[in-house]
Amino acid sequence: MKNIVVLVSGGGTNLQALIDAEKRGEIRNGKITCVISSKDSAYAIERAALAGIPSVVIPRAAFPDNRSYSQEILRELQKQKADLIVLAGFMIILDECVTRAYPYQIINVHPALIPSFCGEGFYGLRVHEKALEYGVKVSGATIHFVNEKADAGAIIMQGTVAVENDDTPQTLQRRIMENVEWKLLPRAVSLFCEGRISVRDGKAYVDL
Ligand code: GAR
């Protein structure tokens, strides 16, 4: 059974999708053992408590720089004996001291079709604002491994939705969450725990 540690910063709807999937028995060979939040006000912490999952708050604001913050995150991940780390709406780009310690063991959900609308500065609603500004007709979400470059690790899965003429960043975000993020993230996590994701030449393949 793999220990899954989920990192959050906000509302935690992706965390909820993982909790619900685990309750339905859809996370095979994995268990969410801890939630780490970068903000003490994150509603995701409530969701963890309601599900009986221990949580730890490591506030970004308490550290002078990203490196020292990431070192503290690394210490906690090691203490938790994490086998898989899931960034579920975690809004901080971790230093390579974390990504190097867990190669192909950190999974992120990004709310756009990488390589579009991604990288530094593209997070949360801002991603959807940029997609609408550009005028794309299709958007979606990407589940990918995390490496030392922002949103540049091997892609595991992607899913799409149509962009409607009257979309706002909020309506587009909601459609992508409901139709892609909340479905694909638990699926990718289960596949990882079952050992069904392999990496060859820097690309990820799902063994179906
Ligand atoms: C989600 O849409 C997630 O894809 C995005 O933030 C939202 C968090 O929602 N993540 C990023 O932008 C990371 N670059 P949630 O807290 O309700 O899961």
Print pLDDT tens along the chain (208 aa).
999 999 999 999 999 999 999 999 999 999 999 999 999 999 999 999 999 999 999 999 999 999 999 999 999 999 999 999 999 999 999 999 999 999 999 999 999 999 999 999 999 999 999 999 999 999 999 999 999 999 999 999 999 999 999 999 999 999 999 999 999 999 999 999 999 999 999 999 999 8
Give the pLDDT score at 7: 98
Give the distance, in angstroms, between the CA of residue 51 and the centroid of all CA atoms in the same chain.
Answer: 19
Give the pLDDT score at 189: 98
CA dist list (Å): 181 to 41, 96, 145: 23, 25, 15
Give the ligand 1 atom nearest the CA of 118. 14
Kindly name the residue from 2, 39, 47, 110 that is annotated as catalytic. Answer: 110
Question: In order of start, what are the domains of the chain with their CATH numbers?
Answer: 2-194 (3.40.50.170)
Give the pLDDT score at 208: 80
pTM: 0.98
DSSP state of 129: H
Mutate to test the pocket of ligand 1, among 157, 177, 178, 183 (most ligand atoms within 8 A of CB): 177
| CA-based nearest residue to 86, from 110, 69, 64, 106 | 106
110 counts as catalytic: yes
